């Protein structure tokens, strides 16, 4: 249990570091693009074309566009990474809220067992089982067994 928890903490730390690196890289690229743009405008306004010729300006424009686009792409990648990270953690937190018996019931439901089979397995009445299932549905914010199985499969594929 402690080993699993430390693995999850390491994964969270790794996800966070990846997001930060992507974000910083994108901001740097956008900043470089902005500086190049300011240099270009300064040189054009100076009316002195000796340091930068017209051909050089077109090359600078292409480099500037490429850096800007790379910065935007990395920024969106970082934001998508953050969104997926937060969504994954929200799903894990939902499952963490379940009691041990509710987690065992979820596993039985994911094995496509009927209510009678699950109730017999846990030695509880069907009405008690239905109460557990209703509690699970509320905690997981779902309405059906199908949704529960889909959520469990999403969690399994992310780990």
Query: Mean pLDDT lowest for which of 43-57, 76-90, 122-136, 139-153?
Result: 43-57
pLDDT on residue 68 = 82
- Asked whether residue 1 carries a pLDDT value surpassing 50, the answer given is no
Write out the DSSP string of 65-119: HHHHHHHHHHHHHHHHHHHHHHHHHHHHHHHHHS-HHHHHHHHHHHTT--HHHHH
Whether the pLDDT of residue 156 is over 70: the answer is no
What are the structural domain ranges in the chain? 2-87, 100-158
Axis-axis angle for helices 54-97, 145-158 (nearest 10):
120
**CATH architecture of the domain with residue range 100-158:** Orthogonal Bundle (1.10)
pLDDT digits (tens, 9 = 90+) for 60-116: 777 778 888 888 888 888 888 778 777 777 777 778 888 888 889 988 988 889 999
């Amino acid at each position: 249990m402690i080993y699993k928890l430390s693995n999850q903490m390491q994964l969270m730390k790794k996800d966070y570091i990846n997001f930060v690196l992507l974000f910083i890289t994108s901001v740097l690229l956008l900043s470089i693009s902005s500086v190049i743009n300011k240099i270009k405008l300064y040189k054009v306004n100076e009316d002195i074309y000796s340091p930068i010729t017209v051909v050089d300006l077109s090359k600078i424009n292409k480099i500037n566009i490429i850096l800007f686009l790379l910065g935007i792409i990395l920024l969106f990648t970082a934001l998508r990474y953050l969104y997926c990270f937060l969504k994954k953690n929200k799903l894990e937190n939902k499952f963490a809220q379940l009691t041990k018996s509710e987690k065992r019931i979820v596993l039985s439901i994911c094995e496509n067992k009927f209510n009678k089979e699950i109730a017999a397995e846990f030695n509880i009445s069907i009405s008690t089982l239905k109460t557990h299932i209703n509690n699970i549905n509320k905690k997981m914010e779902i309405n059906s067994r199908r949704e529960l199985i889909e959520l469990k499969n999403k969690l399994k594929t992310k780990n």
